[in-house]
Amino acid sequence: MKKYVYKKYDSKYPPLFRREKMKLKKILPSDARIEHCGSSAVPGLAGKGIIDILISVKKRDLKKANKSLQKAGYNFKPKAGDKWRDFFDKIYLYNKSKRLVHIHLTFHDSHEFKRHLAFVNYLKNYPKDAKEYAKVKREASKYANGDGDKYREHKYKFVQKIEKRALKESKK
């Protein structure tokens, strides 16, 4: 399954997210926040076709949530996260096609949680910037030719610019 490709937005993304969210609610603490993030959360925004899910739990519940996700079949990727966020992925079949889910696990009110949500909400509210981001992502997928580091590197400056605006906007 190629990860760093450019695909048109698909209206199936929100229902796929909701389906995954229902599964996650059964294995995570009742106060977990489960949010759709990434390009698939922004109507009309093209991207890699991955369903990104942002989860926050109480800080003291992070290890337990991590273990619950692993037990439920999500692949923990220790080197893909950072000290504020655990990262998981899972491939599953949906209508005979492989689908990829990314899970970003952090704690309530963390900078990571605020940053991810602010970014996606900003793009939903500013279609012109979302369209420009789509252009950057298309260029990044061509430049990267399947290399994740190159893909992220190509998008970095644009993402930082939008993230700064998004965080400022979210504080209003």
Measure the CA–CA gap between 45 and 123, rounded to whole angstroms: 9
Angle at 1 between CA 27 and CA 36, to 5 degrees: 40
Q: Are 141 and 4 in contact (CB under 8 A)?
A: yes
Tens digit of each residue's pLDDT (9 = 90 or more) over 83-133 = 789 999 999 877 777 888 999 999 999 999 999 999 999 999 999 999 999
* CATH H-level, domain 13-170: superfamily: Beta Polymerase, domain 2 (3.30.460.10)
Q: How many CB atoms lie within 10 A of CB 106?
A: 25
Domains of the chain, by residue range, sit at: 13-170
Q: Which of 9-18, 109-118, 144-153 has the lowest mean pLDDT?
A: 144-153
Whole-angstrom distance, CA of residue 46 vs CA of residue 137: 8
pLDDT at 162 over 70: yes
CA atoms within 13 A on the CB side of 169: 17
pLDDT-derived band at 59, boundaries 50, 70, 90: very high
Question: pLDDT-derived band of residue 49, with 50, 70 and 90 as boundaries?
Answer: confident
Give this prediction's pTM: 0.91
